[in-house]
Chain A
Amino acid sequence: MTDTTNPIIKFDKVIKRFGDLTVLNELDFEVKRGEKVTIIGPSGSGKSTVLRILMTLEGIDGGVVAVNGEPLWHEQGPDGLRPASEAHLRKMRGQLGMVFQQFNLFPHMSVLRNITEAPVKVLGLSKAAARERGLELLELVGLSDQADKYPHQLSGGQQQRVGIARALAMRPSILLFDEPTSALDPELVGEVLTVIGRLAEEHDLTMLLVTHEMRFAREISDRVCFFDQGQIREEGTPEELFTNPSEARTREFLQAVLD
């Protein structure tokens, strides 16, 4: 098996329930290394839940999630798989990073410190090395001049770019974007999408994006998945899915959001 055929993310009949509501209904889903995948679908279809399960913010009620061939929510015990310990989750989590809808920056830290805190405390980088990495990333997201500001002094678009830099500072191999532009004023969406688009051009990062920005999804994705009622209703290249969806439900949804 080579890296190109072995999926970096694999959902195998994954079930997730919130009370009586089944959010993921035996979901099968794979992402290849370096692939840029966009998940679209109506709200409540389980799109964000997929990301939150991968980031270990939500557990699962059935099935197996594997990251890089290793179970995420389980670990190998003497009698087969058993629920993952916090130590296992911590080890696995290092491969993933997440960009949140509401940015979730740390309000009591400067922009630079938001980015360097985890590399120093979690990865054990020296302060100088973390600072260097932080400044590089701020340049990447076009915010070099904002390093010493606090989050509340920035616009939403700037805050989200800091959020992206903060996630990248941990050098994840998979980056998850949970509706990264949904909380932004329309005029600030572009600057964030530009940064994400630039990242997508780097081939080594696997990207999984939940968004309502259909045009953007079409531009950057290798594959688009239409989620409905806890399952993938339809998937394909952006070309296939947006111009010639085969499912009636997909057509309905696309018509509603593209109008």
Chain B
Amino acid sequence: MHWTDYIAPLMEGAWVTVQLTLYSTVLGTVLAFAAGIGKLSPNWIIKGVSVAYIEVFRGTSLLVQLFWLYFALPLAGAAIGIDLRLPPVIAGVLALGLNIGAYGAEVVRGAIQAVHNDQHEAARALNFSARQTLFNITIPQAIPEMMPSFGNLAVQNLKDTALVSLISLGDLTFRAEQIRNFTQDSTTIYSMLLFTYFGMALVVTAAMRLLERYVTRWRTVGG
């Protein structure tokens, strides 16, 4: 087989990787904001749940989380009579999103806390409620601070999707493995795999740059 014959199946896998990355990054972002804000809540239940989530998912391996959701959860469900079998895509998106969300939560928390106290005092003097201050004053100023770290996390997430090939999801890595098993052409296949991930990472980085420019436009307007 010529190396160009590998392109079609690899692209098929790449498309799955793109979808996994997209969905899990969106899920992770939602979780990051929820848990990052939750960790700063004066309500100890919300705070407790947020801290527990962050620590559990940062403190355990993504691979183990993935296996647990895909292999262990259905068995645990069966033991108590509930069907908790997840399709591989759902298990993959969940594990990736939960994992990246836990790291993202710390980024969100840190950026919110880094907003200068002057801003809180101005908000208080204008009689904004705590919630209004958070959503209208603090978070809009914190988001630009989060962007570089979010960019790193998004690229990290893209690369982590390779792990889902281990629960037989047909992503880029899974396809590459299939071709390699068939052709034994390891050097070509793995080289192509490297370049494809690298190309996708460049796209993610560029997209995050654009997003960063969008959310920081108030800083640069008028030069």
Contacts and interface: CB of A to CB of B under 8 A. Distances in A.
Interface of A: 55-57, 86, 90, 93-94, 96-98, 100, 102, 104-109, 117-118, 121-122, 149-150, 152-153, 166-167, 170
Nearest to A110: B218
B5 interface: no
Contacts of B127: 90, 93-94, 118, 122, 170
A182 to B, nearest CB: 14
A106 B118 contact: no
Per DSSP, are chain A's interface residues mostly helix, strand or loop, or mixed?
loop
B221 A150 contact: yes
B198 interface: no
B196 to A, nearest CB: 38
Contacts of B130: 86
Interface in B38-95: none
Given A93-B127, A106-B119, 9 more contacts: A57-B121, A105-B122, A106-B141, A107-B218, A108-B141, A117-B136, A122-B127, A122-B128, A166-B126
B132 A104 contact: no
B215 to A, nearest CB: 9
A124 to B, nearest CB: 12
B137 A121 contact: no
A109 to B, nearest CB: 8
Interface string B130-155: 10100011001100000000000000
A106 B122 CA distance: 8
Given A106-B137, A153-B222, A121 B124 contact: no
B218 A122 contact: no
Q: Which of B140, B141, B218, B219 is most buried by chain A, counting CB atoms within 10 A of its CB? A: B218
B41 to A, nearest CB: 15
Contacts of B137: 106
Interface residues on B, range: 20 to 34
B221 to A, nearest CB: 5
Interface string B177-198: 0000000000000000000000
B125 A167 contact: yes
B126 to A, nearest CB: 4
B118 A55 contact: no
B125 A97 contact: yes
Nearest to B140: A108
Contacts of A153: 221-222
A100 B126 contact: no
B206 to A, nearest CB: 24
A102 B118 CA distance: 8
26 contacts: A55-B121, A55-B124, A55-B125, A94-B127, A97-B126, A100-B121, A100-B122, A102-B118, A104-B119, A105-B122, A106-B122, A106-B141, A108-B140, A108-B141, A108-B219, A117-B126, A117-B136, A118-B127, A118-B128, A121-B132, A121-B136, A122-B126, A122-B128, A153-B221, A166-B126, A167-B126
A108 B143 CA distance: 11
B129 interface: yes
A121 B128 contact: yes
Given A108-B218, A121-B136, A153-B222, A170 B126 contact: yes
A108 B119 CA distance: 11
A108 B214 CA distance: 12
A57 B128 CA distance: 13
Nearest to A117: B136
B132 A150 contact: no
A95 B56 CA distance: 47
Given A102-B118, A117-B136, A121-B132, A149 B124 contact: no
Contacts of B118: 100, 102, 104
Contacts of A104: 118-119, 121-122
A251 B118 CA distance: 34
A39 B19 CA distance: 64
A142 to B, nearest CB: 20
Nearest to B135: A121
Contacts of A117: 126, 136
